[in-house]
Chain A
Amino acid sequence: MTPENLILTALALPLAACIACLIFAKQPNLRDGLTLLVSIALLGTVISILQQFQSGQVIEASWWNFNPGVAIAFKIEPLGLIFALVASSLWIATHIYGVGYMRGNNEKKHARFFACFAFAIFATMGIAFSANLLTLFLFYELLTISTYPLVAHKETPEAKAGGRTYLGILMSTSIVFLLTAIVWTYVITGTMDFTPGGILTGKTEAGFLAILLALFAFGIGKAALMPFHRWLPAAMVAPTPVSALLHAVAVVKAGVFSMLKIGVYIFGIDNLAATGASQWLMWLAAFSILAASLIAMQQDNLKRRLAYSTVSQLSYITLGVALASSMGAIGGGLHIVTHAFGKITLFMCAGAIYVATHKTEISQMRGLGKAMPFTFIAFGIGALSIIGLPPLGGSWSKWLLMVGAADAGQQVMIGVLMLSSALNVAYLLPIFARGFFDGSIKSDGDDGDDGGGDGGGDGGKSFRENLKEAPILCVLPPCLTAAGCLVLFFYAGKIEEFLAPIIMGGS
């Protein structure tokens, strides 16, 4: 296939899945099967793009002329390719999981759900491959809109309120700050293309650069930088597959990915380092990391705790940009991958626990590990990867970020990263520990809320006897992604090598 067609295929496949979901709305098996095939084909396409790219080919495409000199254009570069690989491979796992979850949980409106899901992947691919700010913004907004129905999926008052917060914060930040920043960049430089080394070097003075960076950093609400992080916990009303893929991988990573891409290709790492325009962002990211971890510790609702943990972890990547050192940027890029695998595992486990027991609060999960060993072991592995312990992938990205901080001469930031790891231990491991070691399951008062939860048919038995793993479709995917965390530990070097060119070509 020609390079242009490869990009077209990568965009068209999820879009086709979206349409197929709507056409075959009434035939669930055909619909979900087709989507699975498409997701596998998408991964194949992205891999063949990777192969072509590694053979040194320039892969780009552009279709519509938006303005004279500005087009909807795509270009493959290492950062975007890594992001696309993560999103497309995890889509397969999440789709399988999603089918199990939606059916096991008797959720409604499956067709709309899977259609929006596929559309969100389409938007994610667009973001990953975008060649200029305009294209990025286009798909960024499409991603917000297509995920709104997923957040509000349950149509309950809470879901609607969550949806409003979600849309409100993401849209306001992107319209008010991001759009202004993009147009301003265009007015100053006359271009919007992502260019190695940045396009703003020497165009403006440092103070203005800091303002522009602020517009971008707050404009990309999906990066959940405080104080614009509230949408992420609010989005937890969504069904768990949504939280897993979109609010641990696609949506939030689209945010930090954009941050990284703009830092590297618009501002230029050297430019940021030379002007010190990103100093303030570094401190804010550090604050975000610690504050979100502290808030996470107080959450009893498992998904909310994970959400705040995500807020904290996303700021690692923002920090990587703000450090303005090459290791920081590469560490940020690697953290996109490792955190994706770790966090999706945690979310899928949370969902599996919900499907099996209908429990959402951590305090209710004592001793569940004995009944659901696979789920809890996967959870433990994911948690350890987030904390950053070897032999799991997360350890490398944290290591690189620390090296980046040292390179930039920011010893305080090394301290922040270490403190944050300690906090991660404090809020993630107790969940795992409780599952296995903390007393036995209380059965009193539980019979009420497990009704219909685990397959039905044996309603007469007590809660403890009923307790077993969630359906296989809900357990297998987190085990696979947990294994992914392990594998990543050994492949992190390759990814680092692959990402290295992004900071070349500067001054």
Chain B
Amino acid sequence: MMSLVENHAAILVVILPLIAAPLAMLFGNRNVAFLLSLAASAGSFLLSIYLLMLVKDGAVLAYHIGGWAPPLGIEYRVDAANALVLLIVAAISLAVLPYARTSIEKEIAEKNHTLFYACFLLCFTGLMGVTITGDAFNVFVFLEISSLSTYVLVALGAEKDRRALSAAYDYLVLGTIGATFFVIGLGLIYMATGTLNMVDLSERLASMEGNRTVRSAFAFIIIGMGLKLAIYPLHRWLPGAYTYAPSAVSAFLAATATKVAIYVVIRFMFSVFSIKFGFEQDTLKYIFFPFAVIAVFAASFIAVFQINVKRMLAYSSVAQIGYMLLGIALFSATGLSATLVHLFNHAVTKGALFLAIGAIIYQIGSPLMANMSGLGKKMPWTCAAIVVGGLSLIGVPGTVGFVSKWVLLMAALEAGLWPVSLMIVLSSLIAVVYVWKLVEILYLEPLPKDSQAREAPLSLLVPTWCLILATLWFGFAADFTVHVSDIAAQSLFDGKFGQDAIIMGTEGRS
């Protein structure tokens, strides 16, 4: 049994939630649905840890689905980069689910709870699948699974605030455009090469650098994913979706969806197209750099003026995505490592913050700052979580945010780009402003006389604090995350993804 699980770990992380989703609908009981979701998440989480342990020192694993050898069959491939992303998605899912059980009570009608769990599981499946697959078309399939379920999840916020519907619709339109661009790109490279397996693609594309079809395919894929990951001018769907979705959904999306999209961009740039492809003529540098910098400054600046806390955090996410792009644009192993480590760190931080804000909304029923004055006294644990999360956004040492900033600064200075390092530190000052605006309101404004607020229930506090403790733990003992990201970045640069992988599941197959 154990060896069966171990041999098929790569597929199980995707299959578990995929099977649990229809089962949840079939049983139709929200408690059963919850337990199924929790079990599937926990299973995927443990298996992701197992996979990460196998690859954390640079190994590459391959799994052939159904025993069909690639490039004909679909192949799953795990290296340090996607094992890290798998762990992020599964861990956040496991933290958010127990929280969601309580938080949706006030946000979603009871009859829709099983629907919620099913969609959540599908979204989870999609994100895991996108991350683990080694087949380019398979990426598209899983991307659509996750996107379609996300539209539903966002729209479920409509029972509380009707604006969720238009937010979901915005997301649907822009997300579909992105997916279409992506699939057009795939079509073009399929036309040029006749294959869809990533490793196979990279071998064939290596000799096609001047090919116009391939170049336009590259552009389509990057822009299509750019919409999904909310690169600055393509970010319009994000604030609305994060603001009006149910709290648990906001937390899950903010912590995972954009991270997975960034992973896909990295994978295509480094492992499918040859590394030089995007950067050889410096074109991508000139596209990514300015937009990353604009994202960091403009989005942070917009965040300062938000009166809705969830929207403020959403704009802060757009800014943080800018940092991740900046790491890629530096085009060095350290820069890429900064991006990867920030994927993890930002997921933990933003997840925790959205959960904490969700707990406040659960208690006072409003996401507006004006209604949160003086809550520090009434909800000490929730507000303390917001302070720690906020400090991590700023990048105060002792939190994960600092680790990201540290590595990113190192990458910028190693490249001799001190103006970039100056921009990185200056932009985090804007984060001080919007975080402190909230902190002042929570702690220094007087509490309204008729305030009924009480501390959030434990079912909301425990998941929040699990992520907060992770924020602190990985802020101090950062060598694990930094080590994994370093290894992952290095092997992406060396093109190790396509080299001899350990084939999983051969002996367990009947």
Contacts and interface: CB of A to CB of B under 8 A. Distances in A.
B413 A66 contact: no
B421 A138 contact: no
Nearest to A71: B479
Given A180-B409, A183-B409, A183-B410, A152 B444 contact: yes
B22 interface: no
B478 interface: yes
Given A68-B486, A137-B397, A142-B397, 4 more contacts: A68-B479, A167-B432, A175-B395, A180-B418
A171 B479 contact: no
Contact of B413 (A138, A172, A184): A184
A93 B443 CA distance: 29
Contact of A167 (B436, B476, B486): B436
B439 to A, nearest CB: 9
A186 B410 contact: yes
A66 B483 CA distance: 10
B391 interface: yes
Interface string B53-68: 0000000000000000
A180 B421 contact: yes
Contacts of A175: 394-395, 425, 428-429, 432
17 contacts: A64-B476, A64-B479, A65-B477, A66-B477, A67-B406, A67-B479, A67-B482, A72-B476, A149-B443, A172-B429, A172-B432, A175-B432, A176-B422, A176-B429, A179-B425, A180-B422, A183-B421
A156 to B, nearest CB: 9
B98 interface: no
B256 to A, nearest CB: 26
Contact of B397 (A68, A138, A163, A180): A138
A155 B396 contact: no
A1 interface: no
Contacts of B429: 171-172, 175-176
Interface in B253-304: none
Contacts of A72: 476
Nearest to B397: A138
A187 B410 CA distance: 7
Nearest to A66: B478
A63 B409 CA distance: 24
A141 interface: yes
Contacts of B414: 187
Given A149-B443, A167-B436, A171-B432, A180 B396 contact: no
A145 to B, nearest CB: 7
A64 B476 CA distance: 6
B5 interface: no
Contacts of A455: none
A125 to B, nearest CB: 15
B476 A180 contact: no
A179 B422 CA distance: 10
A134 interface: yes
Nearest to B407: A67
Interface string A130-146: 00001001100110010
Interface in A335-388: none
Contacts of B436: 164, 167
B500 to A, nearest CB: 27
B191 interface: no
Interface string B406-420: 100110011000100
Contacts of B398: 138, 141-142
A64 B481 CA distance: 13
Interface in A183-208: 183-184, 186-187
A112 B405 CA distance: 31
Nearest to A136: B397
A415 B470 CA distance: 55
A102 to B, nearest CB: 19
A183 B409 CA distance: 7
A160 B444 contact: yes
A176 B391 CA distance: 16
B105 interface: no
Contacts of B410: 183, 186-187
Contacts of B110: none
A278 B503 CA distance: 61
Contacts of B413: 180, 183-184, 187
A176 B425 contact: yes
Given A145-B391, A167-B432, A176-B429, A160 B477 contact: no
Contacts of B391: 145
A145 B396 contact: yes
Contacts of B394: 171, 175
B405 A67 contact: no
A137 B402 CA distance: 11
B443 A64 contact: no
Interface string A291-325: 00000000000000000000000000000000000
Nearest to A70: B479
A214 to B, nearest CB: 13
A168 interface: yes
Contacts of A167: 432, 436
Nearest to B431: A175
Contacts of A63: 476
B426 interface: yes
A413 B422 CA distance: 34
Nearest to B413: A187
Interface in A446-462: none
Interface in B417-469: 418, 421-422, 425-426, 428-429, 432, 436, 440, 443-444, 446
Interface string B1-31: 0000000000000000000000000000000
Contacts of B422: 176, 180
Contacts of B486: 68
A113 to B, nearest CB: 13
Given A171-B432, A184-B413, A176 B426 contact: yes
Given A175-B395, A187-B410, A66 B476 contact: yes
A184 B405 CA distance: 13
Contact of B477 (A64, A155, A180, A187): A64
A49 to B, nearest CB: 23
B431 to A, nearest CB: 9
A184 B486 CA distance: 19
B440 A160 contact: yes
A58 to B, nearest CB: 24
Contacts of A160: 440, 444
Nearest to A168: B432
A148 B443 CA distance: 12
A138 B398 CA distance: 6
A184 B409 CA distance: 9
Given A167-B436, A176-B429, A179-B405, A155 B479 contact: no
B432 A68 contact: no
B396 A141 contact: yes
Contacts of A64: 476-479
